[in-house]
């Protein structure tokens, strides 16, 4: 990862500590954000190597997990094993499991699929669990409040049924350029922020995607948008974008 991207990760990790009420710190005596973040990444992965984690996703989530795999491969010492599976039997301490979840374009199917996975045995095996929606799940025809009400209800039920599992909430990824759909995505993300930030873990993926390498915000007509240098096609994450997100995600998960 370039020094510019590592500087961005350091700033974002600090900014997102509020999402779970946690905090971050840099290595003592180090003023170089490249060195600090590299050390933090290794420390985060070492922590995650003692956890059982499950992530349900589609498309952009696959990009993120590519980044996690690259981060794991580049880190010496104790690291989690990344396994693509939804089989509860494969989930144990030291495994970062992930699998497809629901259908793109149908956000309700993603909430339902995640709930089915958790109640089907995953919830009895993992320490941390989460899923994310995709940018294609939200457009001008989406009933944002209805999608969120369903999400909030099912997540509350899962939290009640599995009190030992830390459920993480994600904001919705964005696309580049001018898009009225980004405004819809941000409507849902703002509901997530307002409802959970400060009380339950929130990984603000949308804010991260809209933060340029120099730390400034990417907006179009006042609405957050995906930074072009993080994307391969205007929606999915390229290697640079996946690296930024995956390193920050590792630090975030280690902090909760």
Q: What is the pLDDT of residue 151?
A: 98
CATH numbers and ranges of domains, the chain? 3-255 (3.40.50.1110)
Long-range contacts of 106-112 (CB under 8 A, 24+ apart): 106/137, 107/133, 107/137, 107/138, 107/142, 107/147, 107/151, 108/147, 108/150, 110/56, 110/58, 110/137, 111/147, 111/150, 111/151, 111/154, 111/155, 112/154
H/E run at residue 220: strand 219-220
Taking the chain (256 residues) in runs of 10, the rounded mean pLDDT of each run is 46 41 32 46 95 96 97 95 98 98 97 98 98 97 98 98 98 94 98 98 98 97 97 97 96 96
Could you tell me the pTM of the whole model?
Answer: 0.87
Question: How far apart are alpha carbons 132 and 112 in whole angstroms?
Answer: 12
Going 125 to 14 to 74 to 209, the CA torsion angle's sign is positive
Long-range contacts of 10-17 (CB under 8 A, 24+ apart): 10/36, 10/37, 10/40, 11/211, 11/215, 12/208, 12/211, 12/244, 12/248, 13/37, 13/40, 13/248, 13/251, 13/252, 15/207, 16/202, 16/203, 16/204, 16/207, 16/208, 16/248, 16/252, 17/255
Q: What is the pLDDT of residue 166?
A: 98
* SS3 state at 141: coil
């Amino acid at each position: 990862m370039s020094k510019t991207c590592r500087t961005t990760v350091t700033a974002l990790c600090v900014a997102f500590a509020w999402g779970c009420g946690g905090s971050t710190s840099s290595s003592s005596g180090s003023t170089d954000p490249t060195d600090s973040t590299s050390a933090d990444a290794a420390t985060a992965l070492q922590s995650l190597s003692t956890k059982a984690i499950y992530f349900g996703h589609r498309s952009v989530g696959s990009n993120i997990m590519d980044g996690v795999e690259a981060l794991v491969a580049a880190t010496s010492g104790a690291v989690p094993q990344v396994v693509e599976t939804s089989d509860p039997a494969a989930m144990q301490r030291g495994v970062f499991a992930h699998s497809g979840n629901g259908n793109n374009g149908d956000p309700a199917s993603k909430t339902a699929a995640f709930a089915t996975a958790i109640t089907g045995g995953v919830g009895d095996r993992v320490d941390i669990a989460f899923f994310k929606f995709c940018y294609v799940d939200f457009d001008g025809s989406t009933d944002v409040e209805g999608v969120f009400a369903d999400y909030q209800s099912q997540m509350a039920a899962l939290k009640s049924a599995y009190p030992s599992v830390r459920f993480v909430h994600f904001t919705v990824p964005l696309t580049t350029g001018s898009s009225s759909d980004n405004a819809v995505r941000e409507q849902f993300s703002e509901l997530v922020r307002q409802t959970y930030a400060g009380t339950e873990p929130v990984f603000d993926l949308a804010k991260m995607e809209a933060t340029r390498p120099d730390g400034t915000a990417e907006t179009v007509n006042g609405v957050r948008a995906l930074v072009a240098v993080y994307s391969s096609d205007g929606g999915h994450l390229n290697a640079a974008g996946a690296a930024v997100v995956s390193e920050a995600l590792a630090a975030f998960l280690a902090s909760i």
